[in-house]
Amino acid sequence: MFSSKEKFKHTFLKRLEMLFGKSFSESTPRDHYQTLGHMIREFVSNDWITTNERYLATKNKQVYYLSIEYLLGKLLRQNLMNLGVEGIVEEGLGELGIELTGLEELEPDAGLGNGGLGRLAACFLDSLASLNLPGHGHGIRYKHGLFEQKIVDGYQVELPEQWLRSGNVWEVRKADLAVSIPFWGKVESRNENGRLVFRHLHAETVTAVPYDVPVAGFNTNTVNTLRLWNAEPAQFPFHKDVLKYKRETEAISEFLYPDDTHDEGKILRLKQQYFLVSACIQSILRSYRKQHSSLEQLHEYVCIHINDTHPVLAIPELMRILIDEEGLDWEQAWHITTNTISYTNHTTLSEALEKWPVHIFQPLLPRIYMIVEEINERFCRQLWEESPGDWERISQLAVIADHYVKMAHLAIVGSFSVNGVARLHTEILKEREMKPFFHLYPDKFNNKTNGIAYRRWLLKANPALSALITEKIGSSWTQSAHELTQLLQYQNDHTFLRQLEKIKIDNKQKLADIIYKQNGVAVDSMAIFDVQVKRLHAYKRQLLNVLHIMYLFNRIKEDSSYEMTPRVFVFGAKASPGYYYAKKIIKLINTVADKVNNDPQVGDQLKVIFLENYLVSLAEKIFPAADVSEQISTASKEASGTGNMKFMINGALTLGTLDGANVEIHELVGDDNIFLFGLTAEEVLHYYRHGGYESVEYYHLDQRIREVVDQLVNGFFPDVYNEFEPIFDSLLGENDQYFVLKDFAAYTNTQEKVGEAFRDTLGWQQKSLINIAHAGYFSSDRTIKEYAKDIWGIRPLY
């Protein structure tokens, strides 16, 4: 149906009539979107079935990627691109008077994630399929993804996100593959022929129904599966209050928790976690049993990867099935489990390290808790045998301590691989945060620097740049990202650099149009577009950026002869609804924006824009239009970052600290093509351990700092008199935990260098080109190849 334009048009019109019982002239754009979606899904289903049959027939090892989040964004254009039918569809629709871009706008973003972690999972799915690797995702089909953000009066307002309102064309409900998940109840043990057997009695069961989404690889026939689980009441609920049961059951897959860095400790969250792992392990074992008679070789054919600790209950759940249902003994079950599970650590922020109070955990998951206790006891015994009497070490490393289950400890003890997500992050894990575990299990720890689905973030998001690259070096870079280094031969080619510049300005103009439409502010596409888009968090230091903008404003006001390279500062960020401080920063950005954008003396030199509701589809419009990529986290706090990579491949220059993957960006592009400033991770960690930083000193010594910090509370923003006191207090009263004032001078100086460098337009484009050329390293294809080889032991199907 996509083999020619004519065939496509014919099928499209027929399908439209069949689906909606309307003639073309009566149909709406939504009908067109749905029709096209159905056609694509039907088109992939042949390859989808074939892929599954081949996996069954070849008995190849399979990897299952478990993640509580998938930030997929829109799938229409990606599917068309990966299937190689984008051109035919775009032209065919065009002849019917339908614009493909218009249909894309109708597709809701699948926003089942908070930020980097969920987006990484989505990028990995794309690379797995594109590399023909047998890898499938499992997640939760949240009815409401991450909240929709509105800015009202400068404040963030959250609305429930509604991506399923008009259905989801990409999913297939598989009711026949539903499984039951038990909660609550109690465990009974009996002695059967000298063996203790356990039964979970009076459990409240929930039905998990899978919805499968095909994941088609780029330019290949492989179609893998993302299986999203929906929570539904069991058919015959054993429950006194059926309505209450129904409500509580459906709540499990109702909302995504809107916080990516804070462990909330809510029982519903733990329910979600067990719901996901139990459903998916039952489903994995069911397919495994179709090929194999015994579970004893499970680890040779299956790898289960947990994305952060949220799915860590996969470890006790697999133990439970092997022991209680398969009748294996503990040692055997432990051998299989610890050779099946691998784990990625995403953070060293202590507030984000999950731990669950026993009094919540035990009643909800009684049998799972028993198994975790047993894991803990055996582990502590091992520690004791190694160094008897060292109670401190035992309590520090235990899986259960002080009435809490420590999920990261469970993950390390129960898996065969622990990886960090950028080289610096892995070093910090090994040498600081998880040091005793590293000494215990040196072979488990390894690094896998994150990557991005660059076909989405460059090929699809920036078609003009992609076309220029293909014109110069051919098209094979779309499958081998490292070939982008061939662009280096053009670094002194002025014609080429001018072409790059023109593409950037065009992209900036497109973003300027969006900004005008959304914020009513006219910005000049010749100015520097200086962008910070990411979740709002104190450690990411949006505050440093705003304080610097306030300083620039003061400078312009105080010195009418001051001339700066015109700048547009763009922000996009959601704050977790309960994160009071982060919301204050959003209000501050908008308050500063109001003041700056309406000051006639400032004019076009300085504009500040907060784009509301930052999500994947908006991100795709922002990255191609950025000149400067703000990656200014307190060093040691950002595990990797992936936004930094999306900026880089679109030719933005990084202005950042030596944190996360910025370190590796710096190594690739060299000192001249990146703007680094500020404390190093080593220095930050030294201050945390030994003290020695007094933020008030910087306040008193640096007049620029004193002025902007005072302006937070002295009536400089007259309409919001007390609003920013908490920010003022965090900087001075609480000694500025994120070293904003400490790094202020270095940041300001470096920003000046950015402004100067931009004036040399060809020089700037050359730096930009060098960044693009080296960004291939950050393809998630590279990352996934490393996982496949070093951790999972899987091979391509074809």
Ligand X SMILES: *Cc1c(COP(=O)(O)O)cnc(C)c1O
* Active-site residue set: 346, 534-535, 540, 642, 646
Structure tokens, 662: 């910025």
Task: Tell the smallest beta-carbon distance from residue 780 to ligand X (Å).
Answer: 11
Determine the Cα–Cα distance for residues 134 and 222; give it in Å rounded to an integer. 9
Determine the Cα–Cα distance for residues 86 and 90; give it in Å rounded to an integer. 6
Which of these ranges, 250-258, 301-309, 488-496, 636-644, lies near ligand X under the rule CB under 6 A?
636-644
Which of these ranges, 37-45, 61-69, 250-258, 613-621, lies near ligand X under the rule CB under 6 A?
613-621
Structure tokens, 71: 């930030």
Q: What angle do CA 641, 645, 649 make, to 5 degrees?
A: 170
Task: Tell the smallest beta-carbon distance from residue 620 to ligand X (Å).
Answer: 8
Q: Nearer to ligand X by C-beta: 457 or 764?
A: 457
Length of the chain: 798
Residues contacting ligand X: total by CB under 6 A: 13
Determine, following the binding rule CB under 6 A, whether residue 616 of this chain makes contact with ligand X: yes
Determine the Cα–Cα distance for residues 554 and 704; give it in Å rounded to an integer. 9
Q: Nearer to ligand X by C-beta: 37 or 73?
A: 73
Task: Tell the smallest beta-carbon distance from residue 448 to ligand X (Å).
Answer: 16
Q: Nearer to ligand X by C-beta: 27 or 532?
A: 532
Task: Tell the smallest beta-carbon distance from residue 778 to ligand X (Å).
Answer: 11
Per the DSSP assignment, residues forming a β-bridge with 401 are 404
Q: Nearer to ligand X by C-beta: 552 or 615?
A: 615
Enumerate residues 6+ apart whose C-beta is below 8 A from 1. Answer: 7, 8, 11, 39, 42, 43
Task: Tell the smallest beta-carbon distance from residue 618 to ligand X (Å).
Answer: 8
Enumerate residues 6+ apart whose C-beta is below 8 A from 401. Answer: 395
- β-strands 186-192, 195-201 pairing: antiparallel
Task: Tell the smallest beta-carbon distance from residue 462 to ligand X (Å).
Answer: 14
Task: Tell the smallest beta-carbon distance from residue 196 to ligand X (Å).
Answer: 47
Enumerate residues 6+ apart whose C-beta is below 8 A from 13. Answer: 24, 96
Determine, following the binding rule CB under 6 A, whether residue 615 of this chain makes contact with ligand X: yes
Of 86-125, binders to ligand X (CB under 6 A) are: 115-116, 119
User: Maximum distance among all alpha carbons in the chain?
Assistant: 92
Given a contact cutoff of 8 angstroms between Cβ atoms, the answer to whether 527 and 558 are in contact is: no
Determine, following the binding rule CB under 6 A, whether residue 619 of this chain makes contact with ligand X: yes
Place of tokens 């032991």: 793
Q: Nearer to ligand X by C-beta: 548 or 646?
A: 646
Local structure of 330: helix, strand or coil: helix
Per the DSSP assignment, residues forming a β-bridge with 342 are 305, 417
Given a contact cutoff of 8 angstroms between Cβ atoms, the answer to whether 97 and 639 are in contact is: no
Place of tokens 């203790």: 196
The torsion angles phi and psi of 722, rounded to 5 degrees, stand at -100, 0
From the list 143, 75, 122, the residue with the least C-alpha distance to 103 is 75
Determine, following the binding rule CB under 6 A, whether residue 624 of this chain makes contact with ligand X: no
Determine the Cα–Cα distance for residues 672 and 770; give it in Å rounded to an integer. 10
Q: Nearer to ligand X by C-beta: 182 or 641?
A: 641
Of 387-416, binders to ligand X (CB under 6 A) are: none
Which of these ranges, 225-233, 510-518, 611-619, 670-678, lies near ligand X under the rule CB under 6 A?
611-619
Q: Nearer to ligand X by C-beta: 210 or 451?
A: 451
Q: Nearer to ligand X by C-beta: 334 or 778?
A: 778
Q: Nearer to ligand X by C-beta: 643 or 678?
A: 643
Task: Tell the smallest beta-carbon distance from residue 743 to ligand X (Å).
Answer: 18
Task: Tell the smallest beta-carbon distance from residue 430 to ligand X (Å).
Answer: 22
Structure tokens, 385: 């045998």
Task: Tell the smallest beta-carbon distance from residue 619 to ligand X (Å).
Answer: 4
Evaluated on CA atoms 99, 100, 103, 105, the torsion sign reads negative
CA dist list (Å): 144 to 70, 441, 518, 620: 13, 40, 24, 22
Determine, following the binding rule CB under 6 A, whether residue 629 of this chain makes contact with ligand X: no
Which of these ranges, 1-9, 356-364, 418-426, 639-647, lies near ligand X under the rule CB under 6 A?
639-647
CB-based burial of residue 779 (10 Å sphere; 0-12 exposed, 13-18 middle, 19+ buried)? Answer: buried
Which of these ranges, 74-82, 158-166, 201-209, 637-645, lies near ligand X under the rule CB under 6 A?
637-645
Which of these ranges, 324-332, 387-395, 610-618, 665-673, lies near ligand X under the rule CB under 6 A?
610-618
- β-strands 355-357, 404-406 pairing: antiparallel
Q: Nearer to ligand X by C-beta: 116 or 154?
A: 116
Given a contact cutoff of 8 angstroms between Cβ atoms, the answer to whether 177 and 210 are in contact is: yes
Determine the Cα–Cα distance for residues 19 and 236; give it in Å rounded to an integer. 34
CA dist list (Å): 611 to 112, 172, 589: 20, 34, 11
Determine the Cα–Cα distance for residues 215 and 136; give it in Å rounded to an integer. 9
Q: Nearer to ligand X by C-beta: 119 or 406?
A: 119
Determine, following the binding rule CB under 6 A, whether residue 328 of this chain makes contact with ligand X: no
Given a contact cutoff of 8 angstroms between Cβ atoms, the answer to whether 640 and 449 are in contact is: yes
Q: Nearer to ligand X by C-beta: 230 or 654?
A: 654
The torsion angles phi and psi of 239, rounded to 5 degrees, stand at -155, 140
- β-strands 135-140, 400-401 pairing: unpaired
Local structure of 179: helix, strand or coil: strand
Name the amino acid, one letter, at 184.
W
Q: Binding ligand X by CB under 6 A: which of 641, 651, 678, 755?
A: 641
Task: Tell the smallest beta-carbon distance from residue 632 to ligand X (Å).
Answer: 11
Of 434-463, binders to ligand X (CB under 6 A) are: none
Given a contact cutoff of 8 angstroms between Cβ atoms, the answer to whether 592 and 553 are in contact is: yes
Q: Nearer to ligand X by C-beta: 149 or 205?
A: 149
From the list 664, 701, 299, 651, the residue with the least C-alpha distance to 487 is 651
Determine, following the binding rule CB under 6 A, whether residue 643 of this chain makes contact with ligand X: yes
Q: Binding ligand X by CB under 6 A: which of 207, 642, 654, 750?
A: 642
Of 506-565, binders to ligand X (CB under 6 A) are: 534-535
Task: Tell the smallest beta-carbon distance from residue 173 to ligand X (Å).
Answer: 27
From the list 443, 448, 265, the residue with the least C-alpha distance to 345 is 448
Task: Tell the smallest beta-carbon distance from residue 726 to ligand X (Å).
Answer: 23
Determine, following the binding rule CB under 6 A, whether residue 74 of this chain makes contact with ligand X: no
Determine the Cα–Cα distance for residues 260 and 120; give it in Å rounded to an integer. 13
DSSP string, 69-82: -EEEE--HHHHHHH
Determine, following the binding rule CB under 6 A, whether residue 80 of this chain makes contact with ligand X: no
Q: Which residue is nearest to ligand X (CB)?
A: 643
Place of tokens 């010195």: 559
Judged by the rule CB under 6 A, the positions of this chain that interact with ligand X are 115-116, 119, 534-535, 614-616, 619, 641-643, 646
